[in-house]
Structure formats: structure tokens, C-alpha cells
Amino acid sequence: MEEKEKTFLDEPVIHWGELTRENLLCLSRYVDVALLPVGSLEQHGPHLPLDTDSYDAKYILEEAVKLLDCPKPPILPTVAYGVSDHHMSFPGTVTLRPETLEAVIMDIGRSVATHGFQKLFISNGHGGNTSVLNVVARKLKKETGLLVFIDSGDSMEPGKKELVKTENDVHAGEYETSTSLANRKELVDTDAIPELEMNFPHPSMSFDHKPNFQFAWDTHELSSVGVLGDPSKATAEKGRELWKLGAELMAERIKIVMEMRGYL
């Protein structure tokens, strides 16, 4: 029996930027969801690369998409900068103002909607972006009808709960160092991994405290080493399991979004 010729639609991952305009048009007839990684360029302690959030936001999308049936939604190029003002006292951080990030995502959303996509699924690798993205989601819905879904590390949560033992582990700690050891070991300076050193003004203001009681902190106020969590507990094995569980849940979520009808 003659084998059916493979096309770009059979690729395990489809990157928007690598398609011709004709192939993008063709794909938009099959799928109405576009995927957008949003990250940051900010200090991640003395031991992790500055682009950790951007790399991770894209990586989990790629791993999730591999688990989906064809045809798959395309992954837009990563928005590699985010709102990182709270890390500016450490070297290497480049931040956008919240209004700049809002303007960038609004324009990406408008463009995607113009080309026939009705939904935008954002994989957000950086907590500092979340409040802006929520505002954008509402504005884009009102202006263009585009439905925006935001996964700010939420797909990683069940795995984190199971595998990460450190409380308040949110930045360059056990979780992020494990995931980096799993897929970019060569970029982790394991000799520079610091001890746990984190102080909150009051116990009720810690990240894991319920009910939540947050304020606009700067990272150096909570940790002189710029690490929120305990990277000394990180292992590559833990990281691999975190990625696996996270990608599975994100794939499920993208599938739900792809199959959603009747909201538009």
C-alpha cells in the first residue's frame, strides 16, 4: 500500500515563524488556537541562566504539543521580556513596564485574531506578568472577541505539590533549579547554588500562607541572594518528572481549548 505523503501538518511541533504564509493560512482552517510563550529576562540567583522563564515557557508548550493529535496549534515566537522590575537590583535583569507588555500582547492578540484564530493560549513562565496578562485577556475579548487562556505555571502545580518539598519555592529554588537541571544542565552553575536564605516581613506574608496577604516586594528585600526557595534540594530526576507531569496537564488543557465551541 502506498504511504500517504507527509506534510507540515504531520510535524510533532509547529512553529508559527517557520511556516510560509500559505501554510499558516492552511493550518488556520484546521485549528482556531494559537499558542504563545511569554517569559522574562531576569536574574535567577547566582546559578541559573537569565532566560530561564522564557526558555521554560516555550519548552513546556513544545512538550505538550507533542502529545496532541495532528493537526496541532502553532507556537508563536516567544515574548522574551516581561515585567521584572522587582529583580532590577541584580545584574542582567531587563524589564518591560507593565504598560509595554500590555501593548505588546494586545498587538499580538489583534494580529492573531485578524488571521482567523479565535483563541490564544498563553504559557506564561513568569509570575510578574500574570496581572498584566489578566487585564489583556479581558481587553482582547472585548475588542476583538479573541478568547485568551493563561497558564502561569498552573499545569506544573500538581507535580510541584507532589515533588517539591520547600515552602514558598517560587524563584530559582528547588523547583526551577530541578527543571533546569533536567533540560539545560550545562547552563546551571552547580558550584554557585546558594543555601536557603529567605525572610518575609511577617509570616502571614509568605507566598504559601493562606489566606494570601501579598505586597509589592522587591526580591532583594526577601533574599539577599535573589533566590526564593531552596535550590540545594534540586535534582535533575525531580525536574524530569515535573516536566512530564506538567506537559501532560498542559496538553489536556490545550485540547479542552481546541474543542471549546459555543462561546464565540
Q: Which is nearer to Zn ion, 109 or 153 (CB)?
A: 153
Of the candidates 146, 150, 151, 121, the one whose C-alpha atom is nearest the C-alpha of residue 263 is: 146
**Taking CB under 5 A as the criterion, which residues in 52-91 touch Zn ion?**
52-53
169 touches Zn ion by CB under 5 A: no
The Cα 112–Cα 117 span in angstroms is 6
Which among 4-12, 46-54, 89-97, 207-215 is the span making contact with Zn ion, rule CB under 5 A? 46-54
**Taking CB under 5 A as the criterion, which residues in 195-224 touch Zn ion?**
none
Q: Which is nearer to Zn ion, 45 or 74 (CB)?
A: 45
Query: Minimal distance in Å, beta carbon 181 to Zn ion?
Result: 14
Query: Minimal distance in Å, beta carbon 160 to Zn ion?
Result: 13
Given a contact cutoff of 8 angstroms between Cβ atoms, the answer to whether 87 and 95 are in contact is yes
Q: Which is nearer to Zn ion, 140 or 228 (CB)?
A: 228
Which among 51-59, 95-103, 152-160, 183-191 is the span making contact with Zn ion, rule CB under 5 A? 51-59
Write the binding mask 234 to 253 for Zn ion: x where contact by CB under 5 A, - elsewhere: --------------------
Q: Which is nearer to Zn ion, 33 or 79 (CB)?
A: 79
Q: Which is nearer to Zn ion, 143 or 189 (CB)?
A: 189
Nearest residue by C-beta to Zn ion? 53
The Cα 164–Cα 126 span in angstroms is 18
The Cα 116–Cα 76 span in angstroms is 14
Query: Minimal distance in Å, beta carbon 93 to Zn ion?
Result: 11
Query: Minimal distance in Å, beta carbon 170 to Zn ion?
Result: 8
Dig out the grid coordinates for 61 from the structure.
Answer: 508548550
Q: Which is nearer to Zn ion, 140 or 247 (CB)?
A: 247
Query: Minimal distance in Å, beta carbon 127 to Zn ion?
Result: 8
The Cα 200–Cα 208 span in angstroms is 12
CA 253 to chain centre: 14
Query: Minimal distance in Å, beta carbon 172 to Zn ion?
Result: 6
Query: Minimal distance in Å, beta carbon 18 to Zn ion?
Result: 26
User: Rounded to whole angstroms, what are the CA distances from 16 to 30, 112, 149, 180, 257?
Assistant: 14, 11, 18, 25, 18
Positions in the binding site for Zn ion (CB under 5 A) = 52-53
